[in-house]
Amino acid sequence: DIQLTQSPSFLSASVGDRVTITCRASQGISSYLAWYQQKPGKAPKLLIYGASILESGVPSRFSGSGSGTEFTLTISSLQPEDFATYYCQQLDSYPRTFGQGTKLEIK
Amino acid sequence: QVHLVQSGAEVKKPGASVKVSCKASGYTFTAYWIHWARQAPGQGLEWMGWIDPRGGGTQYAQNFQGRVTMTRDTSISTTYMELSGLTSDDMAVYFCARGRAVAGTRSWDYWGQGTLVTVS
Tens digits of residue pLDDT in A17-35: 999 999 999 999 999 999 9
pLDDT-derived band at A41, boundaries 50, 70, 90: very high
Mean pLDDT, chain B, as a whole number? Answer: 97
Residue numbers in A near B48 (CB within 8 A): none
Q: Which residue, A74, A68, A100, is CA-closest to A85?
A: A100
Closest listed residue to residue B38, CA positions, set B115, B111, B93: B93
AA letter at A37: Q
* N-terminal to C-terminal alpha carbon distance within chain A: 36
Evaluate whether B86 touches B92 at the Cβ level (below 8 Å). Answer: no
What pLDDT sits at residue B104?
Answer: 84
Q: In this prediction, what percent of chain B has a pLDDT beyond 90?
A: 96
Structure confidence by residue, pLDDT tens digits, B82-112 = 999 999 999 999 999 999 988 789 999 999 9
Minimal Cα–Cα distance from A77 to chain B, Å?
24
Q: Is A64 on the interface with B (CB under 8 A)?
A: no
